[in-house]
Homo-oligomer: A and B are copies of this chain.
Amino acid sequence: MKLLVAVVLLCFKNIYAYNYTVKYIDVPVDHFSFTTNATFKLKYLINDSFWIDDGPIFFYTGNEGIIENFAENTGFMFDKAPMFNALLVFAEHRYYGESLPFGNLSFSTPAHLGYLTANQALADYVYLINYLQTEHSRSAYLNKVPVVAFGGSYGGMLASWLRMKYPASVIGAIASSAPIWQFQGLTPCENFNRIVTDVYKTALEEDCSDPLQKSWKIIRNLTSTDAGKSWLSTEWKLCTPLKTAADVNTLVNWFSEILINIVMVNYPYPTSFLAPLPANPVRSFCNKLTGVEVTDDKTLLTSIGAALQIYTNYTETTTCNNINQTAAALGEAAWDFQACTEMIMPMCSDDNDMFENYAWDFNDYATNCNKKWNVRQTLAELPVLEFGGKDIGAASNIVFSNGLLDPWSSGGVLSNVSSTVSAVIIPEGAHHLDLRGENPADPKSVTEAREFHVSNIRAWISEFYNSRDTNYFKKSVLYEKIKYTHASV
């Protein structure tokens, strides 16, 4: 595990050189029962170089991967920290990176892995925030600094839920590309794949989704023979040649996931989030398919194989493709458990998208999950009960931002919920582009979204100090200082 972490960090270390110190805090394994008093070390990253005068804490609610990777790809927090004199904290999600409640045994049985839930992670963050607020308060006259939550994707869902469930812990949340409505009964399961398809359709003048849509049958036909399996294994540089029908299914999933991942990180400049990639990777991918003669099956697959290298081998250092992995920095096994038990996001495909057709059948899904994890979920709408589904009108101080190039916008909050729960649309944005650091290639829409975030954070901080006890000694002095700090931006 340690080695993998080191390699990943090496890969993802980028030119911005975001700095932080790695720390750990002991947190309870189970926040919601007294059946065990076990604790474990939760990792977090901290940077206090911008932090002066009891500035706020900018708190990233870590999601499904090693936390360093999210810190390295959330430059927005670093960019805006000086403006707010903010303390930066990035908390790792339990069961990812180094934050393993039972070490090597963490994934061994449901008794070990069962504490991997969104609610337990939220409680970890509340626990850590309380510790930070207690430890990091330089002046005696303020016993608590305000905390703003930030998160992208599942991390954005957690940021918004943290504000909904624990509004005393965070004064507001910037929830970027957070598909809190990608659950049973809230969003049609086909929407996600239609957005992916649209991005491939419109990336170039020539419709690039068309050859992809045709490829599935070709793959299935070709791999029905051993010779075909062997040919495709060589042509697509697989580390392990295809042997069985199950291997072919794995390949199809891997191929589908890469097509989706490229769209998610379809940023306007080179990045290294899910994998090292060029600017506008969908366009680069589609360029490799331009003018392919679709009547020749092998030529099509050869072209797709070459196009896939945009994702799998942009650094030209990959010797072969491991079809069991699509994003090294994400904890794919742990996320699979979460998706099987709590974060159940119905997905399906039909003739209106470019993927191989598949239906959403919760019972099949739950049965398959039970085989893998020995846990059977019977309540598809569990996350709706836990987090309210579309009834979030009682929430406050949340910004939901979504890029329209991002398939996860299918489950996002795309219009304002109330005067304090706002939606921001970034037409040219992929997956949480707004949380990335500023870049000359940024479209205007993402710059405007970031300005909207800043104005909301300012308002939340003002509200926090205004609502304090007006008799509090020196409050007005501090408040003036903060206003001055903001005015100087």
Output the least CB separation between A78 and chain B (Å): 28
Give the segment of A28-36, A211-219, A308-316 that binds chain B: A28-36
A392 touches B168 (CB 8 A): yes
Verify A34–B113 contact, CB threshold 8 A: yes
> CB distance B393 to A111 under 8 Å?
no
A386 to chain B, nearest CB (A): 8
Instruction: List residues of chain B with CB within 8 A of the CB of A126.
Output: 385-386
B166, A33: Cβ atoms closer than 8 Å: no
Q: Contact: B110 with A34, CB < 8 Å?
A: yes
Return the chain B residue nearest A373 by Cβ: B34
Task: Give the complex CA separation of A278 and B475 in angstroms.
Answer: 52
In the complex, A110 Cα to B33 Cα: how many Å?
Answer: 9
Q: Are A389 and B32 neighbours in the complex by a CB distance under 8 Å?
A: no
Q: Which of A376-408 contact B (CB under 8 A)?
A: 376, 381, 385-386, 388-389, 391-397
Which residues of chain B are within 8 angstroms of A385 by Cβ–Cβ distance? 126-127, 130, 169
Contact yes or no, A32 B117, CB < 8 A:
yes
Say if the beta carbon of A341 comes within 8 Å of chain B: yes
A302 in the interface (beta carbon within 8 A): no
Q: Are B168 and A391 in contact (CB-based, < 8 A)?
A: yes
Question: Interface digits, A281-300 against B, CB 8 Å rule (1 contact, 0 not)?
Answer: 00000000000000000000
A165 at the interface (CB under 8 A from B): yes
| Choice from B111, B130, B376, B386 contacting A35 with Cβ under 8 Å | B111
Q: Assess whether A455 is interfacial by the CB under 8 Å rule.
A: no
Given contacts A394-B397, A467-B393, contact A388 B166 (CB under 8 A): yes
Q: Answer yes or no: A51 CB below 8 A from chain B CBs.
A: no
- Sorted nearest first, the 8 A-B pairs with minimum C-beta distance are A168-B388, A35-B114, A167-B394, A168-B391, A32-B32, A34-B114, A33-B114, A34-B375
A residues with a Cβ closer than 8 A to B are 30-37, 110-111, 113-117, 119-120, 126-127, 130, 165-169, 341-342, 375-376, 381, 385-386, 388-389, 391-397, 467
Extra contacts, 17 of them, besides A126-B385, A126-B386, A166-B388 (Cβ < 8 A), are A30-B32, A32-B117, A32-B119, A32-B120, A33-B114, A34-B110, A35-B114, A35-B115, A37-B376, A127-B385, A130-B385, A167-B388, A167-B391, A167-B395, A168-B388, A169-B385, A394-B396
